[in-house]
Structure 1
């Protein structure tokens, strides 16, 4: 068996009987604990129940919401030598016709021979039947009394374990191919960097399992090392964000992870909360998956202090599916650390020169730490020449956790160059060896010879009262015969009121000009919940740009 599968089996053997660690699901309504030995036994039964439908190399897609069903199901596929693809889940706002069209493209792209369908998505079985795609009822499979799989099948280190979809509903889906070697390398690197102790640590997570941070970081890693993890669904979190600190308090959670926006949302609620939370156990609150706004991050740590939260528990990180999950973690027990740099040097000379934090137009970036064990990060210019410390350029990564390539609708696509480097698509620099990300290269707005990063514009817009925090997008507009232009699209409850929108636009423009010295060509105000995002909550900039009126 692969080294990764061996860790799953070893974890199961160590976690049976009294004192066993395992998977807790069903919160907040009907909590259920199953040891990793019980999860493993369920996985063997499910693999046995799949019979000839699960052979080595089979691509199996999963569409379900309940982590209690998903956990043993993904292990069953790995024990049987198959690969797992977590399909993006439709929501109440999803056009099911479009979702079905996009999902069928994904299934064809990955060569899926089987879909495991669980609640609440059973009604989509007809779509699969109409298109000749085999599926199994996941709840029924979990209750099978079939003969268990005798043991893990032999699988090579470079065989596919996980096909991680990189975006939401797009015309051209793409999946990152994660091998058993990749998974094994990155999970052990994260265990080392985060100093995870299966006997001491407890993870608490609401992250979606179709996202790499939820699937790899908050389910696969605990399953592999035998650490207890409490898993609820994103809908549980959205229904009441304070369920997150409630579960950390209840289970004495030590480890959690989320994107920056979630810390901001919960931070604001904690500041007004009368609940009796106890967050003193939390030692590792990973902040990643999207640009980190230091002000938003401190909203969480400041509000949490009266509930015993240690500010030093915040760990800013750089990760991407192409590296399996994690690339770098900020140093532990130091909390949020930032790098303050001169705006002019950054935008015009592409150098991150340290600046006084009191300077009005200084730029502040979160320090994202050194690369994890087994990974390298460097910065190069457009000609591929390596740049020195604090010179801004293209970030590249290399190491055993880096994917060999994508699956696309046009076939496999390699991503590493001849020397094993992968271009991340990010622009940034190294500060005394720590990774700093300025923004996505394709999103940079160039005006008057300056590189202006959308995140600076978006932060300024979100400072305006009435703008929903974390719900503003700065997008480039097609220049044509004009000079480069950009627009800001934001969400506000004031949408629909002509006078309120006019006042809001005026204040947003003023804040942006004060912050970055340039004026947006347009400010578009949308009602809450309408800004285009991927299923994992990231802004879809190309779709957002389509919402800007052409003038």
Structure 2
């Protein structure tokens, strides 16, 4: 199949525009005048699908007509179980042409298995009031009749639409500049994802700022993406921003990346990628697999000018290790572009300076001192302030407090109105994150909900995990989570540890590790931690962050099987 396909070119025949479009369909109409588009690869690096913007426009209009025949009404919401495929793109834009609101979500059977996923899906259906689900055939079969709304299949819709003539635009009813675009659900740090409605105006404002000022997009830029399209970086940062910027983007599914992260590097080398983005764990994982590889691929990463990174606390050591590992392949340390954003701001709030090395400072807390990487300065039109959560007073430089932001693409409420977004009378919203400002640079220290309060002392979960990993690197990133538990009416710290099968079989080793961890937490924080081992993987958000709240909920609800308890000796 790959021999019949040809990737879309990097250079385009139309003049570059940096996202100055009022709607998604206006952006696609302009991009369709060029030759760029999307290319899809499998785990072996073979080209499996090509969809240029001209094809995307024509085919998505046909699919819109097919959707129209299903009897949906304007502004009806449809849940999309997102996949990295041409069919997903066609259905998404079909909704844009018909005035239907897509709600992309993930399909992840994690802790609790299929029953837990179906329970979560029921909550999303209730929250979004969706009229139908669109998924692959395999997922439709897995869901079966367990949901209360109809399930449509991507491939069926696209195949049936191919039999239709391309409709005139007058036969459709595209979204206007003052209407919605889609609903974005939070990345899943808890089992109760919250949805925000992203408007056409929000997309225009944020994408323009990112392309013009954040990326400083160039005509010769080609992108590579393996982030899922249900996550705002995958959806806005690569799917929509690529259309709005008329750029070619090469795509790999997140599942295929996890199976073979070296394909990411090899394809970027082959097609001279200029822009990519990954959470911290993505760079770590690729570097680890490259170091372990007996037959290391020959790479040329010299064209990579924007290696975006975010989603969690960024370690300067990790950046230096990655750039050192691939320096001989032409990777430039200055390519790293740390940034910060959240679902409630559409996408980005801050970004570092392109072609400048990341700014590094030293974070000083009650427990530790550690180097920390800046997430950059606020994009034009956005503002960031740090306040004291107790007094609401604005804090000075290098004082850690709550991060509040405001800007032109801020969302002020969730779709079901059950959990209002905290805001103030100046138009700022609370992000839920803690950090500080220094020389207008934003530094993230952690999530406020991850603070463990023991006898009036605030202990940051990330500080404990970071310190343990510095002393015991064999633990592995995302294999431990520091949480608080209530024991005998007293708040206590617990360390959840995801153990390998080999480790789980060695009772003496578990006991030794538990003792080492307890000794270290006493030394670091002066508290006695309860250490709990499981063979299950700790849950991650779609952006690769450790989902501590979800891990804690899984433990407390009994969905996490504990194989060894430092205080119960299971």
- Output aligned runs, 1:388-399, within 5 Å: 388-399=396-407
Q: Which moved further from structure 2: 83-92 or 246-255?
A: 83-92
CA distance in 2, matches of 1:93, 1:55: 36
CA distance in 1, matches of 2:205, 2:274: 23
- Output aligned runs, 1:142-181, within 5 Å: 142-143=158-159, 144=161, 145-151=163-169, 153=173, 155-168=175-188, 172-181=192-201
Change (3 A) 1:148 1:136: farther
**Secondary structure in 2 matching 1:478:** strand
User: Once the 2 structures are TM-superposed, how far is the Cα of residue 185 of structure 1 from its aligned partner?
Assistant: 1.0
Corresponding residue number in structure 2 for 1:332: 354
Change (3 A) 1:407 1:414: same
**Aligned partners of 1:462 and 1:471 also within 8 Å:** no
**Aligned partners of 1:54 and 1:80 also within 8 Å:** no
**Aligned partners of 2:21 and 2:27 also within 8 Å:** no
Change (3 A) 1:447 1:416: closer
CA distance in 1, matches of 2:398, 2:301: 36
**Secondary structure in 1 matching 2:90:** helix
**Aligned partners of 2:178 and 2:200 also within 8 Å:** yes
CA distance in 2, matches of 1:173, 1:47: 28
User: Once the 2 structures are TM-superposed, how far is the Cα of residue 388 of structure 1 from its aligned partner?
Assistant: 2.1
TM-score, reference length from structure 2: 0.85
Structure 2 residue 507 is matched with structure 1 residue 490: no
Change (3 A) 1:7 1:372: farther
**Aligned partners of 1:64 and 1:119 also within 8 Å:** no
**Secondary structure in 1 matching 2:326:** helix
Corresponding residue number in structure 2 for 1:357: none
**Aligned partners of 2:334 and 2:356 also within 8 Å:** yes
Q: Which moved further from structure 2: 5-14 or 212-221?
A: 5-14
Output one character per residue of 1:261-315: Cα deviation in whole Å (capped at 9) or x when no partner: 1111111222344211111111111111222233333332221112111111111
**Structure 1: where are the runs of 5+ without partners?**
348-360
CA distance in 2, matches of 1:471, 1:296: 17
Structure 2 residue 22 is matched with structure 1 residue 3: yes
Corresponding residue number in structure 2 for 1:245: 265
Structure 2 residue 442 is matched with structure 1 residue 424: no
- Output aligned runs, 1:244-393, within 5 Å: 244-273=264-293, 274-344=296-366, 361-382=368-389, 383-393=391-401
Output one character per residue of 1:227-281: Cα deviation in whole Å (capped at 9) or x when no partner: 1111111111111111110111121111111111111111122234421111111
Change (3 A) 1:521 1:262: same
**Secondary structure in 1 matching 2:261:** coil
Q: Which moved further from structure 2: 155-164 or 431-440?
A: 155-164
**Aligned partners of 2:187 and 2:231 also within 8 Å:** no
User: Once the 2 structures are TM-superposed, how far is the Cα of residue 470 of structure 1 from its aligned partner?
Assistant: 2.9
Structure 2 residue 240 is matched with structure 1 residue 217: no
CA distance in 2, matches of 1:223, 1:204: 14
Output one character per residue of 1:421-478: Cα deviation in whole Å (capped at 9) or x when no partner: 1101111111111111111112113457653322121122223143122322111233
Higher RCO (Cα < 8 Å, 6 or more apart):
2
User: Once the 2 structures are TM-superposed, how far is the Cα of residue 338 of structure 1 from its aligned partner?
Assistant: 1.7
- Output aligned runs, 1:452-471, within 5 Å: 452-463=459-470, 464-471=472-479
CA distance in 2, matches of 1:241, 1:154: 38
**Aligned partners of 1:374 and 1:401 also within 8 Å:** no
Aligned length: 526
Change (3 A) 1:276 1:362: same
**Aligned partners of 1:379 and 1:392 also within 8 Å:** yes
Q: Which moved further from structure 2: 251-260 or 46-55?
A: 46-55
Corresponding residue number in structure 2 for 1:356: none
Corresponding residue number in structure 2 for 1:25: 40
- CA RMSD, 1 decimal: 2.7
Q: Which moved further from structure 2: 156-165 or 306-315?
A: 156-165
**Structure 2: where are the runs of 5+ without partners?**
1-19, 557-564
Corresponding residue number in structure 2 for 1:355: none
TM-score, reference length from structure 1: 0.88
User: Once the 2 structures are TM-superposed, how far is the Cα of residue 510 of structure 1 from its aligned partner?
Assistant: 4.5
Among 136, 141, 166, the alignment partner of 2:152 is 136
Among 169, 179, 202, the alignment partner of 1:182 is 202
CA distance in 2, matches of 1:540, 1:124: 25
**Secondary structure in 1 matching 2:481:** strand
CA distance in 2, matches of 1:414, 1:156: 26
**Secondary structure in 2 matching 1:121:** helix
